Chains A and B, each alone.
Chain A
Amino acid sequence: MQWVETEETVRFNEVDEWGMAWYGNYMAWFEVGRMALLERFDLMPGQMVNLGFIAPIIKLTCDYKKPAKCGDRIIIRTTVFKPEIAALNFIFEIVLQADRSVLARGETTQVLLTTDKKMIYRLSGELAERVNQLIDYCCQN
């Protein structure tokens, strides 16, 4: 499995009263990782719209293992796994840069709709080509 890694620093405005990163911020970090990966395969949201598609999230899970704190350098690791259905499945890991300990693990599922909101059941054409390149890259050993 091939992961794309992006670094961030936990900001003061991202921690709660207890000094821990607020749980919702992990979703924003997942999004940083998703963009870093999609950018490599010309699948950024705007580029997908140009192809005539959008990819809304229909499922999100997150396991919190250890709290991130203000000033922590974190690494957002992102990959996708091969779906059996016409969907995009991302996996995320947030790890502490200092010791690579895992802070959180998450997954999202996206379905594919045409820009006029019709769900597609099979990928074809340019979209299929780019998505397959993304999956092949991430699923290589």
Chain B
Amino acid sequence: METIVSDTNRLRTFLKQMIVETLKLEDITAEKIDGDAPLFKEGLGLDSIDALELVVAVEKHFNVIIEDENVGKEAFASVNVLAGFIQKMFSGVSKSRMRLSG
């Protein structure tokens, strides 16, 4: 998973696919998701229960924890923002692991 995280384009594509699969979206395909469009309300139109499911998916795939709505609002602004958020958090996790093992 680390190779995907460091490759921004692959990460963005992966996240689009993850969103479609996790939320079982039927009226939009991963390719059609605009990376800069808001995930909630006027963009993809996701709701708060969708956010809960995405949180679980992000944690499962990237071991990145989104605690609450405050963090969620920031992280789920768009696919591209989410990718940046994961990269930022992921590097933090890796560094702390390196420190622990080193």
Contacts and interface: CB of A to CB of B under 8 A. Distances in A.
Interface of A: 58-59, 84-87, 109, 111, 114, 118-122
B68 A85 contact: no
Given A85-B49, A111-B48, A111-B49, A119 B56 contact: no
Nearest to A119: B69
Given A58-B48, A87-B49, 18 more contacts: A84-B53, A84-B56, A85-B49, A85-B56, A86-B55, A109-B49, A111-B48, A114-B68, A119-B68, A119-B69, A119-B72, A120-B69, A121-B66, A121-B71, A121-B72, A122-B55, A122-B66, A122-B68
B40 to A, nearest CB: 12
Contacts of B65: 122
Interface of B: 48-49, 51-53, 55-56, 65-72
B48 A119 contact: yes
Contacts of B68: 114, 118-122
Contacts, number: 45
Contacts of A118: 68-70
A85 B67 contact: no
B52 A85 contact: yes
Among all A-B residue pairs, the 10 with the closest Cβ atoms? A85-B52, A119-B69, A121-B55, A118-B69, A120-B68, A121-B68, A121-B66, A85-B56, A119-B48, A85-B53
A121 B49 contact: no
Interface centre among B53, B56, B65, B71 (most CB of A within 10 A): B56
A122 B65 CA distance: 9
B69 A122 contact: no
A87 B56 CA distance: 12
B70 to A, nearest CB: 6
Nearest to A86: B52
